[in-house]
Structure 1
């Protein structure tokens, strides 16, 4: 479901040093962190031809446990060491832990979040290690209050698909080498990385033309944790130090973000700031020196809970970076993670919201922004495969921030349950609004409500889990994006003119889609 319907996976190619060369335009939070995963395995174990390495531990370059990384070396005759690595990272619907879907809102340790792999040979000498990987997937059941994976069949099928995808990547790389020769291929891959490095250095020099080369910004998570950033740019070298000193200590909840996530956020933000098409690869980080205080929320202990760090804190890091560079207003700053299931299955989705406006553009309505780039499950698939009805899924007009350029609107999503299940929600921007920029207004906060069947309406807050019954409805309102610039004097020219282009009903459910025509 997560791969086929939501496209929650990423694929990339890495050089013999483990550095990112190129990638498909998939999930930003995956791609920047995958380099750390490859380089960790190169240091930790011997990787031979016929091996595939499985890893998800945050200290090994993982972003959170449900995202499984499979690393396969590329060998060619007369070379005893890998010449490249093909890698993919994909989300598994359930890998055990304290909550169906393995995205618990209340985890306080990595053991609460499911099965852990650090340097596991999923394929050894060409043989898929089904018995051994099954044992690890079931191991979380040994911890109090936890379960082993609830979807073993799906786990094994997805892992085999990840291995097969890497094999396809190997064949394509070998075909490229066969056509052009190894020396030419490696030279051009170095050129790609060098081009990205030069683009970032030029960007940093350009910033110094309008500033003194010192940028700063901070923002708060809903629990009050601060992410603080100071950027010092060397205009001569075209380099910069990203210093997160002053960021809050690691937390007892799961908002801790492994170091690899901060790298993902930086490489993504720099790629956006360059302003023209460059490949996202390790060259983007070559001019950057990173300083993160140890045991902060951005460099937690190895056993810290991190599931929220991947999907929530990562978004806030991007907001802070773009705020420091005065690039745009804040986007919704959240992935609105929704999970439900029981001991037989787990379902997980992320929900779109409003994007921030910028110096020359209105924010987009109802989109996944920044560190996430997934789709959402089609209503027909959702209702056919799971005991739910999608009651409503539409935009929420007016939730984007006011301004010369208006922030994008969030969405309303309502799910009716037809079975006793456990619902878990993991979200942000339910307390602090997405900020506006240069006089623009903030976007609206999100909200999570449970409409009990023949009962009260309950506010779930930003992070919670609850048992739901048939007839209960979960109502999620995602945040809007911040506006940019002070509104014009008549209060009208700043607004996008919207017109509804399609409305239809399915089983009593309402879906609305809107187009956006810019005001002149």
Structure 2
């Protein structure tokens, strides 16, 4: 990114402008969440809001939304501008542009962006933007996740490539009619889209108020100063690493029930190359794209965000560095190499809608590579998330619900892994049971941490959760998950974590029937019961160095069995639930 010369500005003014910009993004996010119709935005906060300058640099983002929504926004803008230039189109005051093309910056098709160009004194000065996940986008089967059998980009649903839904302030009613006619649950989805536009308009208005208060030159100068500061923070962090190359591999399940070996056991390979204050993340060696299945990842919008977020989290941990500007300056020292035709840089029209777990594995494998140089700043292997799309028909209309099943973190230096949380580049929240049961014909029978299953380590792995849901009426469901074959990696003597699982009982008397991690839309009769178990994170450090009292605490909490305390930790627990220190020390000394 070419830097521009701007006027000198004092640090106090810079901080005041920063606070004003960040507050705009926060306000956009809060109001979008309050106006949204769907639980995926209202409760799970699967959205992003940002202001972007005229050169495509992100100035601020809504801090309480997911990085996988806010992070790609500059890429959306780049893609919109590219398409508009190809069409000989331009921006006008009053325009609202809809965009979701994963080959032009969008994270994947269901993450629809709405862009409002901001003009000041007849000059284009930037963009106010919102992105959010929508529960249906007109794909071949209901829902917008669990579309794991799409054969190409066209089967994934409607494609919006820089479509003006308002032009010069005039609503294009035919586009909105097309949306309503081609999307299941249109009242909810179109309502969410209108909420996005309203939030983007708020952002544009507030951005102009800041310009009018401080002056365009001052805001541009402050923004450039903030980006230079963020860039310096990242460069200084990279310079602390020894020059060299650090490589790691990870594997995705792919399609475990497929007879085609090219569709399963998919490799992610990451080589981190450090040279001074520059870093290259090279994905050469990653498996070829799966041409007719949607586990491929857009390079711009998914892969790059997985990399940027992981590096920022590990190298600039906020507990050490505090709060600093989240903007495009952070990515200036980072370069990405991803050969075309691979999972990490597919060629159109390869489908990409089910790219979430793949991108999380990129982040996890990057962390594994960095563990070689910053072992105290990483966690052991992470348990991936699972997403279920539930749907059905009622009164000649569809209902659609998306359930995000948390993953878990591996153990960390000095801390146990976090249990049942969204991981890495996801920052969504799970949906309250009360909200699910009050809106949909579903019942949550069970929602708890897995029993007796956490990875041994000096700091144990995080525990996955179990969610059991029954259909109260006929419907269907589809699942987008991973980590049912390859367990999260243990680190520095810690043991590997546990895999996840998915099963169904169609009648109460039936035995559970095991299903693969990626399941196309499947009919479910009333009374059908599905059970999802999330993977557990890997352990960190030698288990025989774990504090015996913590081992007893894990046993009393039901996280491990007494036999496992003995086998994995060398801790002898008495009948009264206390540590037998004499026998424990004897066993551990022999082990050492």
TM-score > 0.5, shorter chain as reference: yes
User: 1:198 & 1:496 partners in 2: Cα distance?
Assistant: 46
Match of 2:13 in 1: none
1:235-254 aligned within 5 A: 235=276, 238-251=277-290, 252-254=292-294
Match of 1:47 in 2: 91
User: 1:137 & 1:117 partners in 2: Cα distance?
Assistant: 14
1:304 counterpart = 2:350:
yes
Structure 1 position 331, deviation (Å): 4.8
8 Å Cα contact 1:332-1:478 kept in structure 2? no
Q: Deviations over 1:388-417 (max 9, x none)?
A: 111111111443321111111110101110
Structure 1 position 280, deviation (Å): 2.6
Structure 1 position 496, deviation (Å): 8.6
User: 1:150 & 1:331 partners in 2: Cα distance?
Assistant: 37
Task: Say what the alpha-carbon RMSD is for the aligned residues.
Answer: 2.0
Distance 1:451 1:111, change over 3 A: same
User: 1:66 & 1:370 partners in 2: Cα distance?
Assistant: 20
Match of 2:268 in 1: 227
1:195 counterpart = 2:240:
no
8 Å Cα contact 1:41-1:60 kept in structure 2? yes
Match of 2:245 in 1: 214
Structure 1 position 201, deviation (Å): 0.8
8 Å Cα contact 1:52-1:123 kept in structure 2? yes
Match of 2:140 in 1: 98
Match of 2:43 in 1: 5
Distance 1:101 1:428, change over 3 A: same
1:304-383 aligned within 5 A: 304-309=350-355, 311-326=356-371, 327-343=377-393, 344-383=398-437
8 Å Cα contact 1:330-1:481 kept in structure 2? yes
**SS of residue in 2 equivalent to 1:192:** helix
Match of 2:298 in 1: 258
**SS of residue in 2 equivalent to 1:166:** helix
Distance 1:489 1:17, change over 3 A: closer
User: 1:259 & 1:490 partners in 2: Cα distance?
Assistant: 41
Distance 1:300 1:5, change over 3 A: same
Q: Deviations over 1:201-249 (max 9, x none)?
A: 11111111xxx422111111112111111121112xx001111111111
User: 1:295 & 1:469 partners in 2: Cα distance?
Assistant: 40
**SS of residue in 1 equivalent to 2:116:** strand
Structure 1 position 491, deviation (Å): 7.1
**SS of residue in 2 equivalent to 1:85:** strand
User: 2:151 & 2:552 partners in 1: Cα distance?
Assistant: 43
1:73 counterpart = 2:107:
no
Structure 1 position 314, deviation (Å): 1.1
1:457 equivalent among 512, 521, 540:
512
* Higher Cα Rg, which structure: 2
8 Å Cα contact 1:256-1:313 kept in structure 2? yes
Match of 1:278 in 2: 324
1:114 equivalent among 147, 153, 157:
157
User: 2:142 & 2:483 partners in 1: Cα distance?
Assistant: 24
User: 1:86 & 1:314 partners in 2: Cα distance?
Assistant: 26
- Please, what TM-score do these two structures have when normalized by structure 2? 0.79
Q: How many pairs does the alignment contain?
A: 485
Structure 1 runs not aligned, ≥5 long = 139-147, 501-520
Higher helix share: 2
Q: Deviations over 1:115-154 (max 9, x none)?
A: 111111122111232321332564xxxxxxxxx3111222
Structure 1 position 49, deviation (Å): 1.2
User: 2:329 & 2:551 partners in 1: Cα distance?
Assistant: 39
**SS of residue in 2 equivalent to 1:190:** helix
- Please, what TM-score do these two structures have when normalized by structure 1? 0.89
**SS of residue in 2 equivalent to 1:308:** coil
**SS of residue in 1 equivalent to 2:496:** coil
8 Å Cα contact 2:379-2:413 kept in structure 1? no
Match of 1:17 in 2: 55
Structure 1 position 279, deviation (Å): 2.7
Distance 1:106 1:187, change over 3 A: same
8 Å Cα contact 2:456-2:494 kept in structure 1? yes
User: 2:436 & 2:545 partners in 1: Cα distance?
Assistant: 46
User: 1:301 & 1:30 partners in 2: Cα distance?
Assistant: 22
**SS of residue in 1 equivalent to 2:241:** helix
1:482 counterpart = 2:538:
yes
User: 2:438 & 2:381 partners in 1: Cα distance?
Assistant: 33
